[in-house]
Amino acid sequence: MNFLNKLSGLNIFPFVMLSFFVLISCQSSKSTVQKEQGDERPNIILFVTDDHGKDALGCYGNPVIQTPNLDQLAEDGTIFNNAFCTSASCAASRSVILTGKFGHATGSYGHTHDYHHFSTYDTVNSLPLILEQNGYYTARIGKYHLAPEKVFHFQDVLPGNQRNTVEMANNVKEVFNSENPFFLYFCTGDPHRGESTGPNWDDPNSFGNSKTGYKGVKEITYTTDEVLVPSFLPDTKESREELVQYYQSVSRIDTGFGQLMEHLKASGKLDNTIVIYISDNGIAFPGAKTTLYEPGMNLPCIIKNPLLKGQTKVKNDFISWVDLTPTILDWAGINYQPNNFHGHSFKGVLSGEDTTARDEIYASHTFHEITMYYPMRVVRHKNYKLIFNIASGLEYPFASDLWVSSTWQQVYRSNAKYFGKRTVQDYLHHAEFELYDLDKDPDEIHNLADSKEHEEVLSMMKEKMKQFQQNTQDPWKVFWDKDYSLQGTGLNL
C-alpha cells in the first residue's frame, strides 16, 4: 500500500506515454521490415509430382503426351536435362528435397507410413522451418510422406484430393494473398499407381484415374497405339495398356498446373514467384522407380524465375534434389552455412553467373518398403556412372505394386528371357559394382566393371564413391576401411 500511495503522488503519465510510443514504434518497425522483405523477396512454389519420368512430357521430347501448361513453363523458363533424385523412392527422396542432406545421414532410409516407420532424426533442420524463421509464410497441400511433423512443419496444411490437381489449385488461392512472401509445397498423388482397373492379373493399373472422372477436370485419354514405350520396358500389350493410364494421369497433373498458374496470375504475383516443377522419382514401372538406373533417377526439372532476364532454355549442368534446399534459401536471400548441407546451390547456374563445371552427382538408396533392403550408392562423373550394390548377393527386391503390375506379370508368367533390353536374370541379380559409359550405353546394359580397358576409370570412380560416403557420414562406409566409428559403442544406452 505504501508503494502504491507513493506512485499515486507521482506524475507517471509521461512515462506511460513514452512506453506506449516506444511499443508502437517497435511494432510498426517490425511490420515495415516484414513488408519491405515481402516486397523484395520472391515467392516460391515447389510443385512435386509422384513417379513422373522425363518420358512423358512434351517439353522433354514426347510428341504424344499433352502437357501444354508444363510445356509453357519450359518455354518461359529452363529445363534441366541432367537433374537427379538421390533415392528413387517417395519418402526417402522427399526428405532429401526438404533437408539438403542424403537420407543415410538423417535416418530417412525408406517409407514413413504403416509398419515401414522410417523417420528423419528430430534434430534435423528443414527448408520449411528455416523459411518460416526468416519471415516466409509456409503452406503445403497434397502428398506429405514425411516424418516427424516437427521437422517438416508447415504453418498451414490445406485440404484437397491428391488425384485432382484442379481442386488442389483452387484450394490454395488464399496462399497467394499472403502479405509475407510465401513458400507453397504443392504435391500431387498423380501419376503414382492406384487401384487396378479390374480383377484379372493382366488388367492395367489405373494410375489414379477414375471411371467417373474428377470434378472440374476434363480428362485427356490415349490409346495403346499412341503411347511411346520407353526402351527399358518390354513392348507388350500389358505395357502399353498401363502407359495409357499413366499418360492420362500425367495430363491431369498438367491441367491442374495450368489452373494453379491462372490463380497465381490473377493474384498479381506471377512476376514475383519462382516456380519449380520436379518429380520425386521415376516412372512407377520395374526398371525405373526403386532403381538407380537412369529412368529411376534422371528426372524432369523445369524452373521459371521471372526475376531473371533471358533465362537459358536448356541446361545440361548436373544438379540433384539435395541441391534444392540451399538453392531456394539463396533465392530467398537467407544466409546459411554451406557445410550445413550436402547439396550445393545452383542459383548461379540458372542465372548464368556460375560457369563452374557441374558434371558430378551422387545418389544413395537403402530401402523403399521395409522388406526391400537393397542399399545402393551411385557416383556419376561426366559420362561414367558407378553403381555400388552393397547387398549384391540378394535378389533385387520388388515394390509390392510393381510386382503385381501387369507389365511385370506378363514377363514373369511367360518366363520371358528379356525385360526390355535387359535380361530378366540381370535385372534380378546385380553385380557388386556396375560401371557404365552412358555416352555409348545409355540403357546401362554393358557392365564395364570387369573390363581391363576401364580399370583406371573404375579405380577413380571407387575412390570418389569412398570419399562421398565418408564425407556424408554414410554408415555403409564400413565397406571400405571397416570403420565402425559411426556405430558408437552400444554401452550405457
Residues assigned a catalytic role: 90
Strands (DSSP E) contained in 165-313 are: 182-187, 273-279, 301-304
Residues forming beta bridges with residue 273, ordered by sequence position: 43
Residues 6+ apart with CB under 8 A from 484: 478
Evaluate the CA torsion angle 201, 207, 213, 218 in order and state its sign. negative
Amino acid at 284: A
Whole-angstrom Cα distance, residue 83 to residue 341? 18
Query: Considering Cα of 401, then 403, then 408, then 413, what sign does the dihedral take?
Result: negative
Give the residues across from 389 on adjacent strands.
376
Q: Are 46 and 200 in contact (CB under 8 A)?
A: no
Beta bridge partners of 419: 422
Instruction: In whole angstroms, give the CA distance from residue 398 to residue 400.
Output: 6
Task: Fill in the amino acid letter for 299.
Answer: L
Smallest Cα–Cα separation from 127: which of 108, 109, 140, 113?
140
Amino acid at 4: L
Torsion of CA 370, 373, 379, 382, to 10 degrees: -80
Cell 519491405, located at residue: 36
Rounded-to-10 torsion of CA 6, 11, 14, 17: 70
| DSSP-assigned letter for residue 205 | B
Distance between CA 135 and CA 332 in Å, rounded?
10
Is residue 96 a contact partner of residue 321, using CB atoms and an 8 Å limit?
Answer: yes
Assign 425 to helix, strand or coil.
helix
Burial 159-172 (b: 16+ CB within 10 A, else e): ebbbbbbbbbbbbb
Three cell numbers at 112?
Answer: 514413413
Angle at the Cα of 73 from the Cα atoms of 71 and 76, rounded to 5 degrees: 110
What would the grid cell of residue 370 be?
A: 521395409
Spatial separation of the C-alpha atoms in residues 151 and 98, rounded to whole Å: 10
